[in-house]
Amino acid sequence: MEAVTNESSQRLLDRRNAEFWNELCGTGLAQAIGITDASRESLRHFDDAYFGMYPYLMDYVTPHSLDGKKLLEIGLGYGTLGQRLAERGADYHGLDIAPGPVMMMRYRLEQLGRPPNVLEGSALDMPYEPESFDYVYSIGCLHHTGNLRKAIEEVCRILKPGGRAIVMLYNRHSFRQFMRVTLPRWRERLKGRHKATQAEEVRALYDTNSTGDVAPHTDYVTPREVRRLFADFSRVNIDIQNFDAFYLPYRIMFIPREKCLNNIGRVLGLDLYITATKHRAS
């Protein structure tokens, strides 16, 4: 986990993030299923494919109505989860550093007849008063900000006492990290070479856009680091989810991703789903 400490480097990273993520995260999936427009039907088709890929995601959305609950989503991508949350009746607000996801989310909210409360801004300096929200959702975003600790402090600041954060961060203790980062590093060492795996090569395993550019910054955390980062919260729960398809040794058999989600994926999966409650004032 590496924090950007210098103010001008952070401004530069914010600019690069705004540029990179302006292409909606999920564009690869949209292209793969032949979506070329943003009609209601196309978005529904996209959302079905998205929830098909991440079938566990709705487990992190309360099954009860969110009527009257003020909720912020940070890092909006294609807007699939945001639409579901708004449909549950929440007083939905969204924040993203890039204009593309902001426009997509506003468009979806307008289609639902809901106020388009979506702002362009950074998770590191959120334009909201302290103790404003009952829920904060952030799936796959805060590890791109360059300062995970600050981002989680911001989440804590804007949550009401007793409010809940639902955050997904990349797992540093995943099978992917072991096979693609740790093991190659050990092999190189055994051969007496010390070629460090380039940070960009590792980031490329996670987030690239349709022209192959790599996300400007990504952090990977262990469950133990998560507990430290969320020390100001109570009832911190960490679930491990998501997995890559893979071949068994000597390519004797291909194991599809879906077969791994409910077993090895829950132990060595790619993503950490953290649910945490902000302490009530004592």
Ligand X SMILES: C[S@@+](CC[C@H](N)C(=O)[O-])C[C@H]1O[C@@H](n2cnc3c(N)ncnc32)[C@H](O)[C@@H]1O
Which of 188/244 has CB closer to ligand X?
244
Residue nearest to ligand X (CB): 77
> According to the binding rule CB under 6 A, does residue 105 interact with ligand X?
no
Cα–Cα distance, 220 to 188 (Å, whole number): 22
* Residue 1 near residue 221, CB atoms below 8 Å: yes
Of 89-97, 173-181, 226-234, 253-261, which part binds ligand X (CB under 6 A)?
A: 89-97
> According to the binding rule CB under 6 A, does residue 26 interact with ligand X?
yes
Nearest residue to 278 via CA among 127, 133, 144: 133
> According to the binding rule CB under 6 A, does residue 74 interact with ligand X?
yes
For residue 44, give Cα distances in angstroms to 48, 84, 270. 6, 11, 26
Candidates 35, 43, 90, 98: give the one binding ligand X (CB under 6 A).
98
How many CA within 13 A on the CB side of residue 132?
16
The contact mask relative to ligand X for 189-218 (x = CB under 6 A, - = no) is ------------------x-----------
* Residue 246 near residue 183, CB atoms below 8 Å: no
Give min distance, CB of 2 to ligand X, in A: 15
Give min distance, CB of 6 to ligand X, in A: 16
Phi/psi for 138 (5° steps) reads -150, 105
Candidates 71, 97, 155, 167: give the one binding ligand X (CB under 6 A).
97
Cα–Cα distance, 219 to 149 (Å, whole number): 11
Region 223-282 residues binding ligand X, contact defined as CB under 6 A? none
Phi/psi for 71 (5° steps) reads -130, 135
Cα–Cα distance, 80 to 98 (Å, whole number): 16
Cα–Cα distance, 255 to 276 (Å, whole number): 33
> According to the binding rule CB under 6 A, does residue 101 interact with ligand X?
yes
Q: Across the chain, which distance is largest between two alpha carbons, in Å?
A: 63
Candidates 43, 66, 76, 152: give the one binding ligand X (CB under 6 A).
76
> According to the binding rule CB under 6 A, does residue 140 interact with ligand X?
yes
Which of 52/161 has CB closer to ligand X?
52
Cα–Cα distance, 237 to 12 (Å, whole number): 34
> According to the binding rule CB under 6 A, does residue 123 interact with ligand X?
yes
> According to the binding rule CB under 6 A, does residue 148 interact with ligand X?
no
Residues forming contacts to ligand X in the complex (CB under 6 A) are 17, 21, 25-26, 74-77, 95-98, 101, 122-124, 139-141, 144-145, 207
